């Protein structure tokens, strides 16, 4: 039976980010099997050029919800109302069998969930991040903190009334259950192992005008917020005096990119730091990652978080240096499977020590990289995850309310 599935993802889609990677992979895979998959997204005054309707492969994308990018409670309320109104229109006009609301963004998600509830449309919450706690942490205003604390309780009530809540890490699943949400299933992120794999390392390096002998650290993702690249740049400045062939490749964008590039220039690292910009082609990203020696993760916003970049580094057979709390879920996985090195947050000396160790120990890089690949193949292959997700969707659709 062919299903009509609507994703709600509160961003100007497509965009370079873990949320789009997750949703677009599911959408593409299911559409290839004959299902109709559509994505409802947003636009803002900054992304006004991405408004409207477009088709990507067989997937219709509707970036028609106007989103105000502000922490102010009034902006959040307006976003919820706008999302609700637009979602009502889309639900009546597109008539999906099931709606998958991916959060964050939380305000857009809540509006869509309320619309699903009102129209009696079957819906699943895809809870990717603890966005409520993150919003609380971003503001210093006691009024704003109170608002988002109340919103967190309202969100839990709405999630609990959904047909199913899926989430990406065991810690998030535990947290949701602690909030009184019983219908939670774990469905992690991962990597598409048919794309993210080992490629011809030297051929890719030549394409990037890098030497075969360069020692290359790579960062792929958001530049800014809780990902603090400045500590890497400062460590690199000291290491470059001893390791002349050390390089840092940066893929992505974010609020801190200009500051990071300026810092690199101030520390005379123009030849050591290479900014490759935004890459939307997943195969191109995979080729670049596989040509590097080690991937780096400079921070987490939550101890329960597992960044997508970690899965992609691992699938491409490179170890990970993670600058994270030693008791975080990611740290536990890296230690348990021997696939990288943990560095305490903001400890520049320990970071220098870790990078130097991986630089000196080629055998460690090879063994850790192979272990990382096997780890992804066994536990975090997106293709298997997508098949498991679709079975949950079929069960959801078949249940009579």
**How much is the pLDDT for 143?**
96
The residue among 317, 303, 290 whose CA lies nearest residue 376 is 317
* Alpha-carbon 238 to chain mean position: 31
Beta-bridge partner residues of 248 = 217, 273
**How much is the pLDDT for 400?**
74
Give yes or no for residue 401 having a pLDDT over 70. no
Q: In the predicted model, what is the mean pLDDT of the chain?
A: 97
Distance (Å, rounded) from C-alpha 350 to C-alpha 247? 18
Tens digits of per-residue pLDDT, 359-400?
Answer: 999 999 999 999 999 999 999 999 999 999 999 999 999 987
The residue among 141, 206, 151, 154 whose CA lies nearest residue 180 is 154
Tens digits of per-residue pLDDT, 235-271?
Answer: 999 999 999 999 999 999 999 999 999 999 999 999 9
Confidence of residue 137 (pLDDT cuts 50, 70, 90): very high
Give yes or no for residue 301 having a pLDDT over 90. no
Q: How many other CB atoms are there within 10 angstroms of residue 357's CB atom?
A: 12
Give yes or no for residue 55 having a pLDDT over 90. yes
The residue among 331, 298, 277 whose CA lies nearest residue 232 is 298
Q: Average pLDDT for residues 151-168, to the nearest whole number?
A: 98
**How much is the pLDDT for 328?**
97
Give yes or no for residue 1 having a pLDDT over 90. no
Give yes or no for residue 152 having a pLDDT over 70. yes
Give yes or no for residue 165 having a pLDDT over 70. yes
Question: Is it true that 4-190+381-398 and 201-379 share their CATH fold?
Answer: yes
What contacts 210, CB < 8 A, 6 or more positions away? Answer: 216, 247, 274, 291
Note whether 392 and 166 are within 8 A (CB): yes
**How much is the pLDDT for 73?**
97
Confidence of residue 225 (pLDDT cuts 50, 70, 90): confident
**Every domain of the chain and the residues it spans:** 4-190+381-398, 201-379
Sign (positive or negative) of CA dihedral 43, 49, 52, 57: negative
CATH of domain 201-379: 3.40.50.2000
| Architecture of the domain made up of 4-190+381-398 | 3-Layer(aba) Sandwich (3.40)
Note whether 180 and 152 are within 8 A (CB): no
Q: Average pLDDT for residues 25-41, to the nearest whole number?
A: 98
Q: Which two tokens stand for residue 62?
A: 């509707």
Note the residue count of the chain.
Answer: 401
Tens digits of per-residue pLDDT, 59-113?
Answer: 999 999 999 999 999 999 999 999 999 999 999 999 999 999 999 999 999 999 9
Give yes or no for residue 30 having a pLDDT over 90. yes
Side by side, which strands form the sheet with 246-251? 273-277, 246-251, 215-220, 294-297, 320-323, 340-343
**Intra-chain end-to-end CA distance of the chain, in Å:** 20
Pairing of strands 98-103, 4-9: parallel
Distance (Å, rounded) from C-alpha 55 to C-alpha 89? 19
Three-state SS for 137?
helix
Confidence of residue 118 (pLDDT cuts 50, 70, 90): very high
**Residue with more model confidence, 254 or 36:** 36
Distance (Å, rounded) from C-alpha 292 to C-alpha 285? 11
Q: Which two tokens stand for residue 253?
A: 């964008």
């Amino acid at each position: 039976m062919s299903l009509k599935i609507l994703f709600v993802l509160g961003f100007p889609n497509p965009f370079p980010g873990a949320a789009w990677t997750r949703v677009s992979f599911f959408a593409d895979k299911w559409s290839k099997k004959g299902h109709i998959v559509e994505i409802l997204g947003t636009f803002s005054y900054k992304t006004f050029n991405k408004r409207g309707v477009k088709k990507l492969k067989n997937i219709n994308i509707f970036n028609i919800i106007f989103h105000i990018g502000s922490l102010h409670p009034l902006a959040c309320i307006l976003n919820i109302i706008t999302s609700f109104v637009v979602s009502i229109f889309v639900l009546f006009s597109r008539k999906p069998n099931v709606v998958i609301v991916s959060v964050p963004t939380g305000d857009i998600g809540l509006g869509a969930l309320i619309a699903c509830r009102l129209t009696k449309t079957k819906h699943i919450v895809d809870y990717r991040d603890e966005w409520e706690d993150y919003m609380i942490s971003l503001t210093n205003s006691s009024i704003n903190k109170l608002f988002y604390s109340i919103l967190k309780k309202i969100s839990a009530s709405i999630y609990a009334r959904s047909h199913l809540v899926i989430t990406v890490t065991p810690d998030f699943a535990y947290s949701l259950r602690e909030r009184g949400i019983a219908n939670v299933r774990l469905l992690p992120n991962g990597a598409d192992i048919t794309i993210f794999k080992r490629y011809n390392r030297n051929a890719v390096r030549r394409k990037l005008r890098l030497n075969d002998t360069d020692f290359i650290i790579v960062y792929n993702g958001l530049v800014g917020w809780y990902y603090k690249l400045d500590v890497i740049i400062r460590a690199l400045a000291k290491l470059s005096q001893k390791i002349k062939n050390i390089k840092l490749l940066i893929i992505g964008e974010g609020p801190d990119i200009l500051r990071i590039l300026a810092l690199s220039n101030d520390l005379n690292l123009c030849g050591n730091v290479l900014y490759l910009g935004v890459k939307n082609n997943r195969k191109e990203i995979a080729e670049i990652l596989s040509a590097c020696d080690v991937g780096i993760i400079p921070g987490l916003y939550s101890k329960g978080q597992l960044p997508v970049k970690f899965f992609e580094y691992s699938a491409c057979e490179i170890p990970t240096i993670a600058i994270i709390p030693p008791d975080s879920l990611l740290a536990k996985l890296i230690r348990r499977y021997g696939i990288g090195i943990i560095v305490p947050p903001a400890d520049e000396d320990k970071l220098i020590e870790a990078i130097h160790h991986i630089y000196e120990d080629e055998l460690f890089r090879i063994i850790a990289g192979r272990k990382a690949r096997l780890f992804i193949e066994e536990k975090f292959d997106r293709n298997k995850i997508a098949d498991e997700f679709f079975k949950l969707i079929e069960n959801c659709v078949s249940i009579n309310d």
